[in-house]
């Protein structure tokens, strides 16, 4: 079932406002409970009990509910699928025949988090910029939107090739932003190039505002991302860097090891040619891959997955289903 959510800005604002009000109400209720005087019985018991006992019964205020993803706000998780995926959006396409093997809300436009870095890397490589040129991490590369951490401190000098590697394999945000800043014309020109490339690939539902994916305004659909994976998988360097399990990089006098964000890399059950993971609260867990399953090259897109390891579990569920029930049949090509 394919569903394209059409929500007006006013409705989305209303949803967010309602969520904010619920958070405020819960916080107010918690604060009010703290200010209430103890009953006479409780006060008498407290007076007799030692200080340690009093502290042991103090309860922490209830945690505020998690911020919903855009997919949850749009109601996409209500869509049924035969595999009961935790991802609200999914698409599996035969790379050679373009046959759609699995589809769930493929036209829904959602934040794509660090899947953005695939386009970042593609634009950098196609620009023909020297890979051995040394680039410097600056304070402007520090994430002030989500306050994510990084081992690439301002002043760190790496080659463009090393930054590409870290951006794709370890999803390094500062490396991705530095790649954009060092593009001819600067960051604004780089973002314009990202959007121009998306248009050239026919990604009509895609829009970028920065090169890392930390902004929820970087949005796309599963159909568009399949086109991006197709284009990126044709570049050997992007295939190699995105499927690296780990890499050691010299940061000053230290040799620091970075690892892949995708737990499926290196699994004997998978033959992955290209991949990228992504996560911000608004996007949920995301994963795109080009992989060979049962002898056929496939493109997989999983967006807005709920749960810490759910995108990996969804990918495994799709692989098993394809291997045992779908790809045993001859291709239509």
Catalytic residue chosen out of the listed positions 171, 216, 233, 242: 171
Alpha-carbon distance 4 to 294, whole Å?
Answer: 31
Alpha-carbon distance 81 to 304, whole Å?
Answer: 15
Return the structure tokens found at 38: 């103890």
Angle (CA) 240 243 246, round 5°: 100
Tell me the CA distances in angstroms from 173 to 38, 146, 196, one per residue in order. 50, 11, 22
Alpha-carbon distance 239 to 271, whole Å?
Answer: 12
Catalytic residue chosen out of the listed positions 87, 88, 103, 114: 114
52 in catalytic set: no
Q: Are 88 and 77 in contact (CB under 8 A)?
A: yes
Residue with tokens 């599963």: 222
Q: Are 105 and 2 in contact (CB under 8 A)?
A: yes
Alpha-carbon distance 233 to 262, whole Å?
Answer: 17
46 in catalytic set: no
Specify burial of residue 26 (Cβ count, 10 A radius: 0-12, 13-18, 19+): middle
242 in catalytic set: no
Phi/psi at 267 (nearest 5 deg)?
-70, 130
Catalytic residue chosen out of the listed positions 117, 197, 276, 285: 117
Residue with tokens 């490396």: 175
What positions carry a catalytic annotation? Answer: 114, 117, 171
């Amino acid at each position: 079932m394919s569903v394209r959510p059409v929500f007006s800005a006013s409705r989305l604002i209303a949803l967010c406002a309602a969520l904010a009000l619920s958070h405020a109400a819960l916080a107010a209720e918690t604060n009010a409970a703290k200010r209430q005087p103890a009953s006479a019985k409780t006060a008498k018991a407290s007076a007799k009990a030692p200080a340690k006992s009093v502290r042991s019964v103090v309860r922490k205020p209830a945690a505020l509910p998690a911020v919903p993803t855009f997919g949850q706000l749009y109601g996409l998780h209500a869509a049924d699928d035969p595999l009961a995926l935790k991802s609200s959006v999914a698409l599996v396409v035969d790379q050679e025949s373009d046959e759609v093997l699995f589809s769930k809300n493929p036209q829904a436009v959602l934040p794509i988090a660090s899947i953005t870095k695939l386009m970042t890397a593609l634009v950098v490589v196609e620009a023909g910029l020297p890979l051995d040129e040394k680039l410097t991490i600056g304070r402007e590369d520090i994430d002030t939107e989500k306050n994510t951490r990084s081992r690439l401190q301002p002043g760190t000098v790496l080659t463009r090739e090393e930054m590409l590697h870290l951006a794709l394999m370890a999803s390094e945000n500062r490396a991705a932003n530095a790649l954009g800043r060092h593009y001819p014309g600067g960051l604004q020109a780089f973002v314009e190039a990202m959007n121009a490339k998306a248009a050239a690939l026919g990604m009509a539902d895609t829009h970028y505002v920065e090169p890392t994916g930390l902004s929820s305004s970087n949005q796309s659909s599963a159909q568009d991302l399949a086109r991006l994976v197709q284009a990126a998988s044709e570049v050997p360097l992007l295939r190699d860097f995105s499927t690296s399990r780990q890499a050691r990089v010299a940061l000053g006098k230290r040799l620091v090891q970075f690892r892949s964000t995708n737990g499926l890399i290196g699994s004997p059950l998978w033959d992955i040619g290209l991949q990228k993971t992504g996560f911000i609260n608004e996007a949920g867990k995301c994963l795109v891959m080009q992989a060979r399953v049962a002898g056929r090259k496939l493109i997989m897109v999983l967006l807005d997955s709920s749960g810490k390891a759910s995108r990996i579990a969804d990918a495994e569920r799709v692989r098993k289903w394809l291997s045992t029930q779908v790809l045993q049949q001859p291709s239509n090509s």
